[in-house]
Each structure stands twice: as structure tokens, then as C-alpha cells.
Amino acid sequence: MDTALSSEPSAERRPRSPAHVFFAFSRLALRGFGGVLPWAQRTLVDEERWLTQREFVDVLALAQVLPGPNVCNVALMVGDRFFGWRGAVAALGGMMAAPLAIVLALALLHARFAELPAVVAALRGMGAVSAGLLIGMALRLLPGLHAGQAGWAFAAAAFLGAGILRWPLLGVMGALGSASVALAWRRLARAPLPKPPRPGAGT
């Protein structure tokens, strides 16, 4: 089965050490002004090549349904994939260390200058940039989904329920997630079993 957590990465795609993981995620976090997830896809898939596009989609899908920030969940799973708990700690540390210092400094500045018209306008512009980055990442992820008609139907239902009708996100995820799992289970039950290898095959 081709899943993000079960397939063993090839040697040329492995990070060299937990320190390599730490600095890669630190660079990712420092680049992620306006949203880290788009940069996560570019760093892990395009630059470092630790994950394929399909593997990144699988990891992100699991990170979305787990509690906690999505990108932190991605960091934990990717770090654990290569170096176990040491890699998970390194990845999460890289994600949090530098941004923590920057955010604390910016929070102090925002508390002092938040009412200035220039600051208000700048924050509105940054919000538009963040939305654009998320839309761009979603479009780049589409080729790796291989969703089929049912997948697109679930995506449209999620957009309608959470984005248009403003239903509670937890309820939308619970209902559509349960329905998608039930559909996948039904399809797997109907799928023909693979034929066992013939004796002496491959020798």
C-alpha cells in the first residue's frame, strides 16, 4: 500500500541526521511568513525531496484530522519517519524555536502600535497574501490526490459545509470523514484479493 508512513524512503532522499532535520524545518519556519504549509510542500517535496507529492498529501491529510497545529503534526510525522523520536523532537524544535522569538517580539510591537492606520492596513494586506498562499498550495496538491469522483464530491461537500454554510468544522469533518472511511471500507471489501505467487516464482 502506498502511504506516507509505510513506505521506506530511498537512501538519496533521507536527511543526513536529526540536525539536518532541525535546520531544514528552521529554514522552513523562517520562510513561512503568511503561512507555513505552502512552504512545507515546497521544502519537503521540491527542495529536500524527502517526500513525494503523494506522500506529502497523505501526511497532510492525517495531520489535518489530528489535534494540534497542522504543520506541527507534519513536522512530528516527518521527523519520526526518518529518526524516530529524535527526529520528531528535532523537527518540532526547528519549527518552534526561531518563530517563537520572532512572534514574541512582534507581539510586543503589535500591542504598542496596533491602532496605527499603517499597521492596520499592513495586517489586512498580509491576510490577503496568506489566503493566496493557501489557495496556491491547494492547487499544487490537486495532481497528487487521485481523488476520483467520490473524492471530488467529498471535497465539494466540505467546502460547501464549512466555507459557505459556516457549519461547525468539527461536525463537517466528523460526518464527511466517517462517510469517506465507510466508502473506502466498502470498496476494499468488494475488491478482488491479490493472487498468491506461484511456487518458485521469482527464483
- pTM listed for this prediction: 0.58
DSSP 85-112: HHHHHHHHHHHHHHHHHHHHHHHHHHHH
What mean pLDDT, rounded, does the chain reach?
79
pLDDT tens, position by position, 158-169: 878 887 888 887
pLDDT tens, position by position, 136-175: 766 666 665 666 677 778 778 887 888 788 888 778 878 8
Work out the average pLDDT over 9-38.
81
One-letter amino acid of 141: L
pLDDT of residue 161: 84
Work out the average pLDDT over 78-86.
95
The ranges assigned to domains in the chain are 11-146, 148-191
